[in-house]
């Protein structure tokens, strides 16, 4: 595609015979191995509607993952950090078998990124993987897809949505609903490897990398928009929306001035790395209802600056099973409207909101600083179908929480509204500069030096596991 020198009457198969418009590109159905290349340094106005399926070699991915994960987990178990975590659990009152079980959960999640990276590299190199690629050709700046403030989305996958696509080296700006939207609403149930959880995606493979998005936003927002599956359906403009796809990888991307940075719901084996989000207007990035997911080296700053009636957070996740968040930063989340919903807005201004049903989730070596509310908040707000809202067997390790709770809340709040809270281990966390708990008829729970704010509800008294290795200053 060449908007300056192309012609839609051309064949579109060489630089000399390029098409001119995204409308022309949208007329074709693409097949595995095809590429749609946009000329570098050019602005491509309008919307591309994607049709077609690429191929992703999930068999190679899964076999490589199993081997790599076992090896990486064994190496972690043999290391000093694992020994420290187990020793901390014993010092906090756990028996040796209990502490070993905590160590196994921790090592299994800590091994996810290395194993997923190795699996992805092997699958990408496989002859059975044939992406449909959207990228650039020629020297110069990345091509810009521009909606001009009137077009809904830059790349929209027509339903039933496709998979097996790679999108890279592009910029998106001026769209009112989404930069990229792939909402596959045909789900299939998770197999025996993960019983009693939500659904997996019905299609496999989406790779988004080296993409920048700015001004994916509406001019305004209703006072209380309806809640639906994703920001796209709520009236928000979402940088990237992906629903019902397995093997989603998003890396080396930046999102600035979006209503909501990204929403990925359902699926298995997702990987997020080196994503930067600054100045989201209405809502936080979200992950929901997924299995074996890792997020590393990401940064979320100044989220929800215009406020949202249901509360604000730097990041949100729900219904996650086998989940790692490591080396990420959540900072400067604002609390623009503390009196929303009659003063009962929960959460608000928090760094990270774990909302409902996390199992074997590990939060390691993250930095949460300068958030108006709590650093972490665990909220049990709703069940989905037969899946209860309770969380269990989650670990917080080596996180640094500094200068949070300027609104008078505490560094971490645990709120049990309807479901019993399961076990959790805190190990080696550092908390500095927090305020005492106030309001909400909250009880202040101090155990082994860690401060927890509990709003009473069913199961609210279930203890978590703390040791003196967690420090509060």
Other beta carbons within 10 Å of 5: 12
pLDDT at 338: 54
* pLDDT band at 190; cut points 50, 70, 90: very low
Q: Count CA atoms within 13 Å of residue 37 on its CB side.
A: 16
Q: Which of 241-255, 392-406, 407-421 has the highest mean pLDDT?
A: 241-255
pLDDT at 463: 56
| CB-based contact 303:334 (threshold 8 Å) | yes
Does the pLDDT at position 276 exceed 80?
yes
The kind and range of the H/E element at 426 are: strand 424-427
Arithmetic mean of pLDDT, 89-108: 94
| CB-based contact 432:462 (threshold 8 Å) | no
Lowest mean pLDDT among 218-232, 361-375, 381-395: 218-232
Cα separation of 388 and 411, whole Å? Answer: 26
Cis peptide before 417 (omega within 30 of 0): no
Cis peptide before 160 (omega within 30 of 0): yes
pLDDT at 449: 32
pLDDT at 99: 95
Tokens standing for residue 17: 């015979």
Summarize pLDDT for 403-424 with one digit per residue, the tens. Answer: 776 554 444 544 444 444 567 8
The residue with greater pLDDT, 246 or 195, is: 246
SS3 of 341, please? helix
pLDDT at 374: 76
Q: For all residues of the chain together, what is the average pLDDT?
A: 81
Arithmetic mean of pLDDT, 90-103: 93
pTM, two decimal places: 0.90
Among 2.160.20, 1.10.10, 3.40.1580, 3.30.70, what is the CATH number of 133-472? Answer: 2.160.20
pLDDT at 358: 87
Cis peptide before 78 (omega within 30 of 0): no
Cα separation of 454 and 459, whole Å? Answer: 11
pLDDT at 236: 66
| CB-based contact 406:376 (threshold 8 Å) | no
The percentage of residues in the chain with a pLDDT greater than 70, rounded to a whole number, is: 75
pLDDT at 193: 41
Cα separation of 299 and 138, whole Å? Answer: 31
In 3D space, the residue among 132, 131, 130 whose CA is nearest the CA of residue 50 turns out to be 132
Helices (H), 92-203: 96-110, 112-125
SS3 of 363, please? strand
Summarize pLDDT for 100-158 with one digit per residue, the tens. Answer: 999 999 999 999 999 999 999 999 999 999 999 999 999 999 999 999 999 999 999 98
pLDDT at 309: 57
Cα separation of 275 and 296, whole Å? Answer: 9
The kind and range of the H/E element at 59 are: helix 58-77
Query: Using the 8-state DSSP alphabet, how is residue 140 labeled?
Result: S
Residues pairing with 55 in the sheet? 130
Cα separation of 61 and 67, whole Å? Answer: 10
pLDDT at 440: 33
Cα separation of 432 and 335, whole Å? Answer: 20
pLDDT at 355: 78
Contacts of 233 by beta carbon, 8 Å cutoff, 6+ apart: none
Q: Which residue ranges does the chain devote to CATH 2.160.20?
A: 133-472
């Amino acid at each position: 595609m060449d908007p300056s020198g192309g012609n839609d009457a051309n064949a579109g198969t060489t630089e000399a015979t390029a098409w001119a418009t995204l409308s022309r590109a949208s007329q074709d159905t693409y097949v595995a191995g095809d590429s749609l290349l946009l000329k570098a340094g050019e602005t491509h106005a309008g919307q591309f509607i994607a049709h077609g399926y690429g191929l992703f070699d999930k068999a190679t991915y899964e076999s490589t993952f199993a081997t790599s994960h076992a090896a990486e987990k064994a190496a972690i178990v043999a290391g000093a950090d694992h020994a420290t975590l187990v020793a901390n659990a014993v010092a906090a009152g756990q028996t040796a078998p209990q502490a070993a079980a905590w160590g196994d959960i921790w090592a299994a999640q800590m091994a996810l990124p290395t194993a997923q990276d190795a699996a992805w590299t092997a699958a990408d190199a496989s002859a059975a993987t044939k992406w449909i690629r959207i990228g650039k050709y020629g020297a110069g700046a990345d091509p810009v897809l521009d909606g001009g403030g009137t077009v809904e989305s830059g790349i929209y996958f027509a339903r039933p949505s496709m998979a097996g696509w790679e999108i890279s080296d592009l910029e998106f700006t001026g769209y009112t609903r989404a930069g990229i939207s792939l909402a596959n609403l045909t789900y299939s149930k998770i197999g025996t490897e993960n019983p009693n959880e939500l659904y997996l995606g019905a299609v496999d493979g989406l790779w988004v990398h080296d993409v920048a998005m700015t001004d994916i936003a509406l001019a305004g927002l209703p006072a209380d928009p309806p809640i639906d599956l994703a920001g796209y359906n709520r009236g928000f403009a979402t940088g990237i929306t992906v629903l019902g796809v397995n093997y989603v990888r998003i890396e080396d991307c930046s999102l600035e001035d979006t209503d909501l940075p990204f929403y990925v719901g359902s699926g298995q084996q997702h990987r997020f790395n080196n994503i930067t989000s600054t100045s989201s207007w209405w809502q936080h990035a979200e992950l929901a209802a997924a299995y074996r997911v890792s997020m590393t080296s990401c940064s979320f700053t100044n989220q929800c600056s215009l406020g949202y009636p249901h509360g604000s957070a730097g990041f949100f996740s729900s219904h996650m099973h086998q989940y790692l968040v490591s080396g990420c930063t959540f900072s400067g989340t604002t609390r623009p409207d503390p009196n929303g919903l009659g003063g009962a807005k929960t959460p608000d201004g928090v760094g990270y909101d774990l909302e409902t049903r996390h199992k074997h989730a590990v939060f390691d070596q993250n930095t949460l600083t300068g958030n108006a509310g709590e650093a972490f908040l665990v909220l049990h707000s709703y069940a989905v179908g037969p899946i209860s809202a309770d969380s269990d067997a989650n670990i917080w390790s080596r996180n640094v929480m500094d200068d949070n709770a300027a609104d008078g809340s505490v560094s971490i709040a645990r709120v049990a509204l309807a479901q019993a809270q399961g076990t959790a281990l805190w190990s080696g966390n550092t908390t500095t500069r927090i305020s005492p708990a106030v309001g909400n008829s909250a009880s202040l729970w101090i155990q082994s030096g860690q401060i927890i704010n509990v709003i009473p509800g069913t199961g609210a008294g279930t203890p978590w596991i703390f040791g003196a290795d967690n420090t509060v200053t």
